[in-house]
Amino acid sequence: MRQAILALGLMAIGLQGAWAQAPGLRVQSQVEGLAFTPLAALPPAPRGADGRLCGFAKPGETPAGRLVSRAGWAVTGEEKLGRLQAVSFAGEFQPGTSGSCEIRQGNVALFEGEQILAVAYARPGARRSIGAILPLEIAGQPGGLRLWDGDFLSQPLADLRAQPDGTLALQPLAPEETRCQGRVTLPNLYGKPITEARRLLQARGWTPVPGERQGSDIGGREEALAQAGVVEVDSCSGTGFGYCRFGYRSGSALLDVTTVGDNPVPSVSDYGVRCGGG
């Protein structure tokens, strides 16, 4: 996959000038392949940054996001980070099968109002690019942001969190996160076989919910998984990426886990929580 460094080039921005725009802001990357640097001005997007190819057609909604849109980039996410506004954006999109999309030339910028302060990007030759951002909850409190990669099957790439000294750091994924204002805890399940994922979930109070189809109503991969003891398998797709869905409950919260691949024991690709149980 081709990577880009945001058309930075690292474009003679003059780091001293960038620091002058962000007094007291310190940034660092602890993740291989990712850089995080101060930046004083947003460069224009490369030609053909058409997010409509993958559903990113809306202009930014925040002042910072609209500035990014006006520069020609496609906005893929906007989230608050304390007093700062984070905007993820990209310059190249490639549609794939089953509604998937590869995002290239992806970045995350931090703004104060409409003033850009710093940007995170994939280094030249990095194996994975940046796709989008989502909020992260740790111990029941806003814990920063989670960066997702730009692959066709997007996976978490890094966490952006404040350090005790105030430095904003790109870090490896936290081993666990919370949801529902701290009422439930989720271990990092990405890439783990469903048999290991269910063990980790049960250790944190999640109970498998048997799939709706049982007995003579179940067949194929669902039957094989259920016979192997993974009774919470709900459905599997016979085409595309071979998704399977599994369900768990903790109090009033429901957890949907998705695996990918046609292996006898598939691996987790995504999961989501419904806090009210509905």
- Predicted confidence at residue 97, as pLDDT, reads 84
How much is the average pLDDT of 51-66? 92
AA letter at 206: W
Distances (CA, A) of 139 to 51, 168, 179, 180, 270: 35, 19, 9, 10, 21
Q: Which residues contact 32 (CB under 8 A, 6 or more apart)?
A: none
How much is the average pLDDT of 109-124? 96
* Tens-place pLDDT, residues 205-247: 999 999 876 554 555 889 899 989 999 999 998 777 889 999 9
For residue 17, pLDDT beyond 80: no
Handedness of CA 93, 156, 177, 226 (dihedral sign): positive
Scored b (16 or more CB within 10 A) or e, 208-247 reads bbebeeeeeebeebbeebbeeebbbbbebeeeebbbbbbb
Q: Share the mean pLDDT of the chain.
A: 88
* Tens-place pLDDT, residues 85-111: 999 999 999 999 878 899 999 999 999
H-type helices in 114-206, by residue range?
A: 194-203
Beta carbons of 158 and 147 less than 8 angstroms apart: yes
Instruction: Say if residue 64 is exposed, middle or buried (CB neighbours under 10 Å; 0-12, 13-18, 19+).
Output: buried
DSSP 220-249: HHHHHHHHTT-TTEEEE-SSTT--EEEEEE
Q: How far apart are CA 62 and CA 88, in angstroms?
A: 12
Of 115, 200, 123, residue with least CA distance to 157: 123
Given pLDDT bands bounded at 50, 70 and 90, which one contains residue 19? Answer: very low
AA letter at 87: V
- Predicted confidence at residue 122, as pLDDT, reads 97
Q: How far apart are CA 168 and CA 231, in angstroms?
A: 42
Q: How far apart are CA 29 and CA 160, in angstroms?
A: 9
Angle in degrees, CA 21, 163, 180, rounded to 5: 110
Structure tokens of 193? 């076989």
